[in-house]
Structures are given as structure tokens and as C-alpha cells.
Chains A and B, each alone.
Chain A
Amino acid sequence: MADRIGAVCVRIGIGRDNYRIAPGLYALGDPDAESPVLVTCNFKLTFDLLRRELAGRSLWLLVVETYGINVWCAAGKKSFNADEVAGRVRAAGLDKVVTHRTLILPQLAAPGVAVRKLPKLCGFSGVFGPLRAEDLPAFLDAGLHAGPAMRIVKFPLGDRLRVALVEVHGARKFMAWILAACVFLALLGPGGSSFTGVMGAGAGAFGAVLAGFLTGVFLVPAFLRQIPVRAFAAKGLIAGALIGLFLTAFLGRAWPEKAAALMACAAFASWFAMHYTGSTPFTSLSGVDKEMRRYMPVQGALLVFATMLWLAWAWWGKTVMGGLS
């Protein structure tokens, strides 16, 4: 139960940077000299997942130092590499613990671990296990064989929303600055001269940003397949504009305010949807680089237009633009 609470906390970022276990050799069940050796990272969520999926079995878990980062990201950043694995094998004296000479590595460690280097480095050869921990029992029972279905990554709705939670944590400081900026801009005119007016206008503007944030972080991932464009920033623009249109149909007073809110909502939804690329298992460096170069100017322009429209309406709206509303 404590692990469950810990898991929820760590997803939203509480104690995330310290959710690690000590590297080294761990016994699961009652392993002997013939038992398989599984290599994994030292992110505690991963370790707990392995313990759960392999409950009732006896085997060795060799935990390497990845600084509390998951297998795939650690391999991508090269902290999960062949030298690290070999070093942990030697430090644990694994050659005296087991009689066989095979290490089972997670498939997603492959971007960091050149498995053919292991025999020379530590005397053990490496085999890539299945992509998901839940397939480990079948992999072990099949004599260390994983079929093609066990090697392909999936991204179901539950996973899409679980990994979205990390964005909430990542954006907390950014959103605090945005809130401050909204209140500051409200002071410049839209809020009038009263304290409640400023707070109300600032909160209204922040509401548009927040709608964009929630759209980009949760709605776009949830409807990833249904939004009919490839670029995440474009998905965010479409979803953000739709949500903005829906909200401004009910809220806001004059059309310039509504238009400003709609543009801000679309810009922030696009920004956060673009940042979700880092949580997906299928976007490439080249692809994300390209969409950022293409859509960040659009996001910036929308935000500048939204801000100018909002301020301009407060400054001159009643006289110049009044006739249009």
C-alpha cells in the first residue's frame, strides 16, 4: 500500500527525484545458482513493477545506477550502458553467485547498451528480454524467447494519461510565472482601477491559459488518434481553438476579449501538446525539431496578438472599437 501511494505521488512529481533504490544484486523469492539474472534500472517504480510481475518466481535482479531514471530514458541518455552493467556484474561478484553466464536485459535498454560488448567486459553475455515487464513470465517460460508482438511498443489511453501527469509537475513554475504575467497585464488596463477588477481580469486571462494547458496536456493525448494531423503542435492548435471557441461562447464580455482568449487558449494548447512529444514512445528527434521550428513562431504570434488585442480593447476599445462590438 505504501508503494501504491508512493507511485501516485511520484507520477505527479512529489519526491520524484529521489525515488530510487541502491544499485546491486537483489534476490527475488529464493534464487539459486541456476536462476536467471534480470538487469534493470534503479527507478523504484520499475523495480516495484518487476517484483509485482514476477511474484512467485525465484530469480536475481541486478540493479544498475541510472540515477532514478527509467530504463528507456536512461538508455537514451547513455547512463544505462554496457560499462555500467559490466561494472555492477563485477561489483556483485555475479560469477560466484550463478553458474550460468547469461544476463537478461530489458529491450528498451538497447539504445544505451551494446550487448555484444558484454562478454569481453564482464564474461557474461546479454539477451534482450521483452519490451514490457508483463511479458517476462512468458519470455522466461519460452526459454528466453520473445515473439515479435512482445517487441513492439504500444501506447494505450491509460499510459497516455499516466505519462501526461509528469507535464503537470514540469509546468508548475512556468504556470506560476504566467499567472503573475496575467495579473501584471490586467494592471495595465483591462482590470480597470479597482483591486477586484484587476484580479478578475487577471483570473480571466489565466483561465484561458489554463484551458489551453489542460487541452494540451490531457485532451490532445486522450484524442491523439482522432485529431487528424501529425504534428503535435498542430493537434494542440486545433483542439485549443475548439475548446476556446466553446468557452468563449459562454464567457467573456466583448468580442475582442473573446478573440484574445481564444487565441491564447490555442497558443498554449499547442505549446503543451508539443511538449507532450517527450512523453510519447514514437516521436523522433528530427520530427520534433521540425515541428518546433514550424509551430513555435505561430504560437508566439498568437500570444502577441492575443495580448495586444486584450490591452488595446481596454485602452481604446470603448471609444474606437466600441462601435464594432
Chain B
Amino acid sequence: MKEFRHLENIVTLEYYPEKCVGCGACSTVCPHGVFIQENDIALLVDRDGCMECGACALNCPTRAIDVRSGVGCAQAILYGWLSAIPFLRKLFIPDACCS
């Protein structure tokens, strides 16, 4: 997002342009304009705008995009950590936000 930015140089997004077939799926699904479609190929134009939702990688037919997808939600991450502790495992379900 151009208006709001989180931390720089942290996302796990990787793009392999040699695998791109130019279908345009990534630039269609990305909510932050991280990819654009130009001359029948996808261009990665704003890597730091990525929020790792995984929409592009899931919808890429040739696996030209790789990202460790997940939700950028402190509560979900915290519960993930807490659920790794044996005693607390029953109290905290990993990834439990919004459910």
C-alpha cells in the first residue's frame, strides 16, 4: 500500500520471471499492486508493499512466485508461540485469530 507502509526488507516474496507465462493472475489478485503486467510478463514493482497473503503464489499456474504466506496478526503469532509450550497447548490454538 502506498499510503501506509510496514517494515522494509522483510517479506519472503520471491519471483522467478523466467517461469512467468504472462497470464496476469498475480497482478489481478494482488491488493497492493506489488505486481504489474507489462508486455505479456509480470513485473515485480513493489516488493516491500507485499503483505504475504499468498494470493499471487496460489493463483500462479507455473509456480513463478514463492512466499511464506500467513496473516500479519500479532495475536495469531502470539498464540502460535504459546501453543508450542506443552502446558499451554490446550489453552491456545495456533493461528486462532478471527475464529
Contact B98 A110 (CB under 8 A): no
* Contacting residues, chain B, for A283 (C-beta < 8 A): 6, 51, 72-73
Chain A residues whose CB sits within 8 angstroms of the CB of B11 once the complex forms:
284, 286-287
Q: Does residue A13 face the partner (Cβ distance < 8 Å to B)? A: no
Please state if A116 and B61 are interface contacts (CB–CB under 8 Å).
yes
Known contacts A116-B61, A153-B31, A288-B72; is A280 also within 8 Å of B4 by CB?
yes
Could you say which of B5, B10, B32, B55 contacts A110, with CB atoms under 8 Å apart? B55
A282 within 8 A of B: yes
CB pairs A–B below 8 angstroms (22 shown): A73-B71, A73-B97, A110-B53, A110-B56, A110-B58, A110-B59, A116-B61, A151-B30, A151-B33, A154-B3, A277-B6, A277-B72, A277-B73, A278-B71, A278-B76, A280-B4, A281-B1, A283-B73, A284-B72, A285-B77, A286-B10, A291-B7
Counting contact residues on chain B (CB < 8 A from A), the size range is 35 or more
Q: Which residue of A lies closest to B30 (CB)?
A: A151
Which residue on A lies nearest to B5, using beta carbons?
A230
For B59-87 the 0/1 string (1 means CB < 8 A from A) is 10100000011111111111000000000
Q: How many angstroms from the CA of A213 to the CA of B31 in the assembled complex?
A: 30
Does A275 sit within 8 A of B, measured CB to CB?
yes
- CB pair B10 A151 closer than 8 Å: no
Q: Is the interface of B mostly helix, strand, loop or mixed?
A: loop
Contacting residues, chain A, for B31 (C-beta < 8 A):
107-108, 131, 151-153, 281
B3 and A225 contact, CB distance less than 8 A: yes
- The smallest beta-carbon distance between A272 and chain B, in angstroms, is 10
Distance in Å: Cβ of A108 to nearest Cβ of chain B: 7
Query: In the complex the two chains form, is B98's CB within 8 Å of A287's CB?
Result: no
Query: B39 at the A/B interface (Cβ < 8 Å)?
Result: no
Contacts of B29 in A (CB 8 A): 107, 110, 128
Q: Which of A263-316 contact B (CB under 8 A)?
A: 274-275, 277-278, 280-292
Q: Pick from B6, B74, B75: contact of A284, CB below 8 A.
A: B6
Residue of B nearest to A67 (CB): B99
